Amino acid sequence: MQLTRPAVSLAAATAATAATALLLAGCGGGEDGPSKSGNIEGADSPKSTSPSADKSEEAEPKTGDFRTSDIKLPDDVKLVFDWKQPSDPDKAAALDGAADYMRALMHGTVKQDPKDPVLARHVVPLQTAEEYATTLVKAHVEREATVTGTDRYYRENVGDVVSGKLAEVSFCVDQSKFYSKKIKSGKIKRTEKSASSYMRYTLVMEKPKRAASPWRARSFEYEAKAVKQCGD
């Protein structure tokens, strides 16, 4: 059963606020986010009316390799993807899009820009993945904080492509070495690893109409303190 539009929006905002609050307190994680749906959001929906990709996107088709990206982050922000490259081209492209969504989310955070064009290029407008990202970036801006350290992504799973355009990508996140940093003072808030360091993200990625464009994040779900699924 899928949530109604207002409930999904509230859940995404709540997850982002909780995640930011704990990250700013010195550790990754957050309170319970939205529960996982049994269906892929948008699989039975009419065709998207989202604007076409802008001219700043790559001229050549994406290769679907999550290990490479043109999204640049500061040297003190490291995203480690302990993932295996899928042999299926669509699954590889969906996983690549999920990796770039996380990079774009961090890019918007360090740039302190909820409307960061890099982030906008990797989300489907007016969907929960965009709402989560925008809320998270805004929370950092309000607290005059950014991020630093190493964010690790692992235990990925890429589902089959539904309706020829949607694929669910889920993965664990370990933020035990990822911290909040005050922009003005440069002070870093550090704490020890805890249950809140572990999260499980689930994204629904949407295939682009143009081969040169990246798969974009459509929906977002978040499970906090996911020690059972993600603990070492």
Domains, in order of start, for the chain: 5-33+76-230 (3.10.450.50)
Q: What is the pLDDT of residue 97?
A: 98
Q: What is the pLDDT of residue 13?
A: 55
Q: What is the pLDDT of residue 183?
A: 95
Binned at pLDDT 50, 70 and 90, residue 198 comes out as very high
Residue type for 219, please? S
Binned at pLDDT 50, 70 and 90, residue 140 comes out as very high
**Two tokens, residue 146:** 């950014």
The larger pLDDT score, comparing residue 102 to residue 30, is at 102
Separation in Å, CA 121 to CA 15, 47, 56: 22, 19, 9
Q: What is the pLDDT of residue 55?
A: 40
Q: Is residue 155 over pLDDT 80?
A: yes
Separation in Å, CA 110 to CA 11, 49, 75, 100, 117: 24, 30, 11, 15, 13
Percentage of residues in the chain having pLDDT higher than 90: 66
Average pLDDT over residues 46-70: 57
The larger pLDDT score, comparing residue 162 to residue 60, is at 162
Q: At what angle do helices 128-142 and 89-111 cross, to 10 degrees?
A: 20
Q: Is residue 132 over pLDDT 60?
A: yes
pLDDT, tens digit (0-9, with 9 covering 90-100), for 103-123: 999 999 999 999 999 999 999
Q: What is the pLDDT of residue 192?
A: 84
Q: What is the pLDDT of residue 90?
A: 95
pTM of the model: 0.78
Binned at pLDDT 50, 70 and 90, residue 14 comes out as low
In angstroms, rounded to a whole number, what is the distance separating the alpha carbons of residues 16 and 131? 9
- Cβ-based burial of 143 (10 A; exposed 0-12, middle 13-18, buried ≥19): middle
Bridge partners of 152, per DSSP, are 80, 174
